[in-house]
């Protein structure tokens, strides 16, 4: 779970022969013991994806020189997009929330119990509803009253706060405000939203009401990275539950809450494990 210090490389590039051999040879010759290796080749466009995790103990490149060494010896040559992470650094996560509590509480429970290796320096809300629970969990709470008029201004203040707090990524835990493109573009693949339907069905407002109207026999939830297109970003996790004609809209909302909180938390967990890669508005999840 990140207690020991491991390195993780996430890579994608145009596929060509010998990539796995080259990368594993690089780690092998520097005495890196591979703990996990996953690769995927998307064959239509010919894109190679890889996640490799190795032990740093016997690795003979010093930690602060790995980035440079990998870039020089491999990444540049193959024109790779890549990230390097170390598991001893806890990412810093901010939670945006409006009035609904179930996703927030689930995140706080997991954090408080030590289930996740993450720091939560801020809960940010357009309502004061959750100030009390934030206090109970000793997490700083920031209230921003959002109106039509002050929206741009508030977003600027929020972005300043996020920068000051060194936030790595954001969770929209049922945050009922639409973020501007400007804000979203500042956090590419770093904003995770939960939508209360199995997308692409019922994107937008009131999905449970519309599911009830349509008479579907399953409802769902989707966690995804946020992009400028509403509810259309790369999907991390989806799950569904069966419903019947007996379920009212209130029942859908109640049953859906359980889906939402689990699907969001799974999406966060996968992100925290550095198991997600994004290409072409789709995720590769090395689960």
Distance from C-alpha of 236 to C-alpha of 182, rounded to nearest angstrom = 22
* Residue 258 engages a second copy in binding (rule: CB under 8 A): yes
Among 5, 83, 109, 185, binds a second copy (CB under 8 A): 109
Residue 283 to residue 92: CA distance in whole angstroms: 22
Under DSSP, the state recorded for 220 is E
Q: Tokens in use for 70?
A: 């990998």
Q: Alpha-carbon distance 150 to 143, whole Å? A: 14
To a second copy, the closest distance from the beta carbon of 168 in angstroms equals 22
Q: Let me know if 106 is a catalytic residue.
A: no
Percentages of the chain per state (helix, strand, coil), in multiples of 5: 30, 30, 40
Least Cβ distance, residue 160 to a second copy (angstroms):
31
Which structure tokens are listed for 218? 């399953």
- Tokens 């569904």 correspond to 240
Select the span of 84-92, 145-153, 158-166, 217-225 touching a second copy (CB under 8 A).
Answer: 217-225
Cβ of residue 152: shortest distance to a second copy, in angstroms?
Answer: 31
Q: Are 94 and 171 in contact (CB under 8 A)?
A: yes
86 binds a second copy per the rule CB under 8 A: no
| Residues 6, 225: Cα–Cα separation, whole Å | 25
Q: Which is nearer to a second copy, 126 or 265 (CB)?
A: 265
Point out the residues that are catalytic: 231
Contacts to a second copy by CB under 8 A:
1, 17-18, 20-21, 24-25, 27-28, 31, 33-37, 39-43, 101-102, 105-106, 109, 112-113, 115, 133, 136-137, 198-202, 214-218, 220, 234-240, 242, 244-246, 248, 250, 254, 257-258, 262, 265-266, 281-285, 287
């Amino acid at each position: 779970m990140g207690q020991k210090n491991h390195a993780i490389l996430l890579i994608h590039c145009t596929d060509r022969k010998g990539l796995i051999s080259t990368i594993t040879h690089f780690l092998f010759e520097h005495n890196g013991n591979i703990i996990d290796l996953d690769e995927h080749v998307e064959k239509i466009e010919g894109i190679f994806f890889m996640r490799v995790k190795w032990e740093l103990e016997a690795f003979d490149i010093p930690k602060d020189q790995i980035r440079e060494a990998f870039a020089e010896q491999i990444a540049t040559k193959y024109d790779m997009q890549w990230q390097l992470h170390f598991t001893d650094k806890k990412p810093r996560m901010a939670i945006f929330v409006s009035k609904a509590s179930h996703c927030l509480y689930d995140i706080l429970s997991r954090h408080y119990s030590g289930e996740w290796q993450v720091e939560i320096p801020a809960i940010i809300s357009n309502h004061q509803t959750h100030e009390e629970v934030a206090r109970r969990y000793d997490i700083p709470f920031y209230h921003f009253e959002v109106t039509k008029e002050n929206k741009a201004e508030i977003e600027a203040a929020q972005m300043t706060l996020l920068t000051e707090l060194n936030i790595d990524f954001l969770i929209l835990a049922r945050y009922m405000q639409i973020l501007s493109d400007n804000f979203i573009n500042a956090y590419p693949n770093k904003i995770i939203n939960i939508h209360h339907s199995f997308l692409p069905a019922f994107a937008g407002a009131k999905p449970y009401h519309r599911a009830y109207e349509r008479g579907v026999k399953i409802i769902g939830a989707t966690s995804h990275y946020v992009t400028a297109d509403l509810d259309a970003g790369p999907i991390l996790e989806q799950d569904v539950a069966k419903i019947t004609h007996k379920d009212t809209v209130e029942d859908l909302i109640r049953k859906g809450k359980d889906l939402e909180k689990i699907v969001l938390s799974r999406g966060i967990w996968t992100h925290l494990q550095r198991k997600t890669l994004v290409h072409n508005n789709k995720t590769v999840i090395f689960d």
